[in-house]
Chain A
Amino acid sequence: MNVGRSAWIVLGSLVLCAGLTLVGVNAFAGRLWRVVAGFTLFVVGYRAMQYGVHGWPTIRTLRDTSDGLADLLTQGGGLAASVLLAAYGFVLMGRAVQTEATTPMILSGVSVVLGYVIGHRVANDEVL
């Protein structure tokens, strides 16, 4: 692996870890939108790593591999739903620790895993 690719792994990882740190420190304080920002950074960092290592898409490749605006909207919408569901699940986790209520306890895992599956399906063609 060359220096450029390694640098993208380090840079992407720094962004991703900063995002997950935002998720952790804000989930237990119930700050949903900061957790959303954290997962957004996670997606940005991970995608930067993927493109940095395997090659950034050009306008031409995007045009050739995409069926147009509808495709881009589906991907963007899927990633947005994924980030929101994962963030909501972590906030529910924080709430469940404080209240010991059963419903957020169960729903937290369902929300995070559902968000992960949607995001991974959209971004990587696999459900896990």
Chain B
Amino acid sequence: MSRRHSSIEFLGGLLAAVVGLTAAVWGSAQGWSSLDVFVVVALSWSGYLFAHHGATGRFVDAPGTGEDPNVPASRKKRLGVVVAGLCMALAFPLGIYALVADSVLILGGAATAFVGGYASGHWLLTGTAL
């Protein structure tokens, strides 16, 4: 399996994923048409795919069997994974606050917290950010 790494592809993809996610949530809440929401969802998903390719050399991982979960032995790493999960969960109240306050900037912060929490938790668990 290829393990080619590209920081530009990874970071550029992650940026597109965050911008697309912000626009998708914002547009959905604002009542955009399905086509408009689809376009920004596609931007976000494409960004994720390229970021994944940049980090691992493949666009999508092989399916698992659900029988052998990857849990780090180190207590510090396990705690880090819990913190990362909390960061993802707390991105929702922050995003809701952003929508109530009509702030696309704060919503971008919430999307960054969600994607950042995911990437750091995934890195602690597997050694790659995606």
Could you tell me which A residues sit within 8 Å of B by CB distance? Answer: 1, 9, 12-13, 16-18, 20-21, 24-25, 27-28, 46-47, 49-51, 53-54, 65-66, 74-75, 78, 89, 93-94, 96-97, 100, 105-106, 108-110, 112-113, 116-117, 121-128
Contact = CB atoms under 8 A, between A and B. Distances in A.
Contacts of A97: 29, 96, 99-100
Main secondary structure of the interface of B (DSSP, over half): helix
Contacts, number: 125
Interface in B14-60: 24-25, 27-29, 31-32, 34, 37-38, 41-42, 45-46, 49, 58-60
B28 to A, nearest CB: 3
A108 B126 contact: no
A93 B92 contact: yes
B19 to A, nearest CB: 15
Chain B: interface residue count, which band? 35 or more
B60 A109 contact: no
A65 B62 CA distance: 15
A93 B95 contact: yes
Contacts of B66: 74-75, 78, 121-123, 125
Interface in B100-130: 100, 118, 121-122, 125-126
A128 B71 contact: no
A117 B41 CA distance: 21
A13 B27 contact: no
Interface in B77-112: 81, 84-85, 88-93, 95-97, 99-100
Given A18-B38, A128-B84, A109 B89 contact: yes
Contact of A9 (B49, B91, B92): B49
A1 B58 CA distance: 9
Contacts of A16: 45
Given A16-B45, A24-B25, A93-B96, A110 B62 contact: no
B81 A128 contact: yes
Given A17-B38, A108-B92, A127-B71, A49 B60 contact: yes
Interface string B60-73: 11111111111100
